[in-house]
Structure 1
Amino acid sequence: MNATSGGSEAVRWSEAVASWDQEAAWSRTLALTTSEDMVGGLFLRGTLKAVRALGDESLVARSTAACGQTNFLEFFNYPASVLLRLLAEAVPSLAQRHGDVAHALWLLGNCVGRDFLDSESGRAMCQLLRREAKRLMNHLPAAYQLSLTGTRAVQWLGPQHCRFVMTHDVLPAAFHEGLLVALLEHMDTRRIHVEGVQTGPLAREFDISWR
Structure 2
Amino acid sequence: MVRGEQPLEFWLQDLERRRTFVKPEHTMRGFFFKGMLENLRTLGDEALVRRCQEACGQERFVDFFSYSVQLLFPILFTALPTLAERHGGAEAALQQIGRQAAIDFLESVTGKAMLKLTQGRPQPLLSIMPTAFRIAVNHGSSRLEWTGPTRGWIRMEGSFMPIPFHEGLVRQMLETARAQGIQVVTHSTGELEVVCDFSWE
1:109 partner letter: G
2:113 partner letter: A
Aligned residues: 200
Q: For residue 142 of structure 1, what is the aligned residue in structure 2? A: 131
1:121 partner letter: T
1:187 partner letter: A
Structure 1 length normalisation: TM-score?
A: 0.88
Q: For residue 150 of structure 2, what is the aligned residue in structure 1? A: 160
Answer yes or no: is 1:13 the counterpart of 2:13: no
Deviation at residue 204 of structure 1 after TM alignment: 0.9
The structure showing larger relative contact order (alpha-carbon pairs under 8 Å, at least 6 residues apart) is: 1
* Alignment check: 8 A CA contact 1:51 1:59 kept: yes
SS of structure 2 residue aligned to 1:178: helix
Question: Whole-Å Cα distance in 1 between the matches of residues 56 and 8 of structure 2?
Answer: 25
1:130 partner letter: Q
Deviation at residue 179 of structure 1 after TM alignment: 1.3
Q: For residue 190 of structure 2, what is the aligned residue in structure 1? A: 200
Unaligned runs of 5+ in 1: 1-9
- RMSD of Structure 2 on Structure 1 (CA): 1.7
Question: Whole-Å Cα distance in 1 between the matches of residues 17 and 27 of structure 2?
Answer: 17
**1:117 aligned to which of 87, 106, 112:** 106
SS of structure 1 residue aligned to 2:33: helix
1:139 partner letter: I
Q: For residue 7 of structure 1, what is the aligned residue in structure 2? A: none
Q: In the TM superposition, what are the counterparts of 1:96-115 in structure 2 within 5 Å?
A: 96-115=85-104
**2:38 aligned to which of 42, 46, 49:** 49
Q: For residue 183 of structure 1, what is the aligned residue in structure 2? A: 173
SS of structure 2 residue aligned to 1:66: helix
Question: Whole-Å Cα distance in 1 between the matches of residues 101 and 21 of structure 2?
Answer: 24
Deviation at residue 207 of structure 1 after TM alignment: 0.8
Answer yes or no: is 1:92 the counterpart of 2:78: no
Q: In the TM superposition, what are the counterparts of 1:44-83 in structure 2 within 5 Å?
A: 44-83=33-72
Runs of 4+ residues over 4 Å off in structure 1: none
Deviation at residue 174 of structure 1 after TM alignment: 0.5
Question: Whole-Å Cα distance in 1 between the matches of residues 11 and 179 of structure 2?
Answer: 34
2:86 partner letter: R
Deviation at residue 22 of structure 1 after TM alignment: 4.2
* Alignment check: 8 A CA contact 2:8 2:89 kept: no
1:138 partner letter: S
Deviation at residue 100 of structure 1 after TM alignment: 0.7
Deviation at residue 188 of structure 1 after TM alignment: 4.5
Q: Which moved more, 1:94-103 or 1:76-85?
A: 76-85
Q: Which moved more, 1:165-174 or 1:132-141?
A: 132-141
| Closer, same or farther: CA 25–188 of 1 in aligned 2, 3 Å | closer
2:48 partner letter: L
